[in-house]
Amino acid sequence: MVAMDPCASYRAAVREALPHALIVADHFHLVRLANQALTDVRRRVTWDTHGRRGRKHDPAWAARRRLLRGP
């Protein structure tokens, strides 16, 4: 089993060197991708709703902080 960055070039190199290895994405990169997707959606919804970027006093900003940092 090889845990690594989900980059296609890394995957190809591991497949060449270890053809029978199970390749999985590591925890750090999965969390980073999920956080980025959440941020993209939050920004798009805020822009569509308010016609501007989010501000610190907006409820979506507080929800973002709770999701990323904890209570």
Number of domains in the chain: 1
Question: Is residue 44 one of the residues assigned to a domain?
Answer: yes
Cβ partners under 8 Å of residue 67, min gap 6: 38
**56 in any annotated domain:** yes
Residue ranges making up the domain that contains 39: 25-71
Residue 17: inside a domain, yes or no? no
**Between 13 and 39, residue with greater pLDDT:** 13
DSSP 3-state of 29: helix
Task: Please report, as a single letter, which amino acid is at residue 38.
Answer: L
| Residue 15 resides in a domain | no
So what's the pLDDT on residue 11?
A: 92
The answer to the question of residue 10 being in a domain is no
pLDDT digits (tens, 9 = 90+) for 14-61: 999 999 999 999 999 998 999 899 889 888 888 888 888 777 777 777
* Residue 7 belongs to a domain: no
- Three-class DSSP labels, 43-66: HHHHHHHHCCCCCCCCHHHHHHHH
H/E segment holding residue 17: helix 8-17
Residue 1 domain flag:
no
Prediction pTM value: 0.65
